[in-house]
Amino acid sequence: MAGQVRVETEGAIGWIVFDHAERRNAITGAMWRAIPAAAAQLESDESVRVVVLRGAGEMAFVSGADISEFKQARSGVGARDYDEQNARAFGALARLRKPVLACIHGFCVGGGAAISLTADVRYAAEDAVFAIPAARLGLGYSAGGLRTLVDVVGAANAREIFFTARRFDAAEALRLGLVQRVLPKAELDGFVRETALAIAENAPLTLRSAKLVLSELAKPEAERDAGAIEDSIRACYVSEDYAEGVRAFLEKRRPQFRGR
């Protein structure tokens, strides 16, 4: 079947590449099913400290789910199975304990927008185009997917994006908080790589703790895991990396963190 999810490593950076170029990187069922394994591979690779999501080429991040499969795979009783495999893919990306960046060229539509929302930080090229066109297809949309959109852009903006199903550009995405920066197309890849490398120089346990704490703080107070928050913070203070960070500061040199 056309389309694949590639895992690539470049030093401390792990890349998950959505490659279905002839269909603007639309995600097939096989690609959805491959995402959890790709995420698990990079989670378990101790040499990888930052994960970057991107589409193959520069025409699209992901233009959505492959609609050519919908009649067979996303109808009737099969619709629930299709949605469950999507949920597993989103969950696997969202549960990555390492910082996750999204590098967005061109189309970031439907399932592509949902994939981008699993990233901690999103950077877009000036030509990026966003939309969630479920209402034009008659699809039911998961509560989890809408909750994530609301968390990022707010309830009123989420309603407007979803109800109108319209496309909007990178400048509006920046205004809405959907992306954190917009860069000239020729500069995006280099900026994302440099940012990922800068993040990778920082203490992995501190980054992991911060990601966990920020995720917990986004939940209602009654649902927060206070024990997990406290454990993650304590793990930083008893780590070799904390001792190394203090030594490096006093010795006026760059710390060499090992994630221990």
The per-residue pLDDT for range 87-135, each reduced to its tens digit, is 999 999 999 999 999 999 999 999 999 999 999 999 999 999 999 998 8
How many residues are there in the chain? 260
DSSP state of 110: T
The per-residue pLDDT for range 107-118, each reduced to its tens digit, is 999 999 999 999
Backbone angles phi, psi at 57, to 5 degrees: 75, -160
Confidence class for position 41, pLDDT limits 50, 70, 90: very high
Question: Is the Cβ–Cβ distance between 108 and 62 less than 8 Å?
Answer: yes
Over the Cα atoms of the chain, what is R_g?
19
Within 10 angstroms of residue 120's Cβ, the number of other Cβ atoms is 20
pLDDT attached to residue 72: 64
Nearest-angstrom CA–CA distance, 100 and 120: 5
List the structure tokens of 113.
């927008």
DSSP secondary structure of 131-165: E--HHHHT----HHHHHHHHHHH-HHHHHHHHHH-
The H or E element spanning position 236 is: helix 226-237
- Predicted structure pTM score: 0.92
Of 41, 53, 63, which is closest to residue 90 (Cα–Cα)?
Answer: 53
Confidence class for position 75, pLDDT limits 50, 70, 90: low
Nearest-angstrom CA–CA distance, 244 and 246: 5
Nearest-angstrom CA–CA distance, 183 and 125: 5
List the structure tokens of 44.
């378990």
pLDDT attached to residue 151: 92
Residue type, 136: R
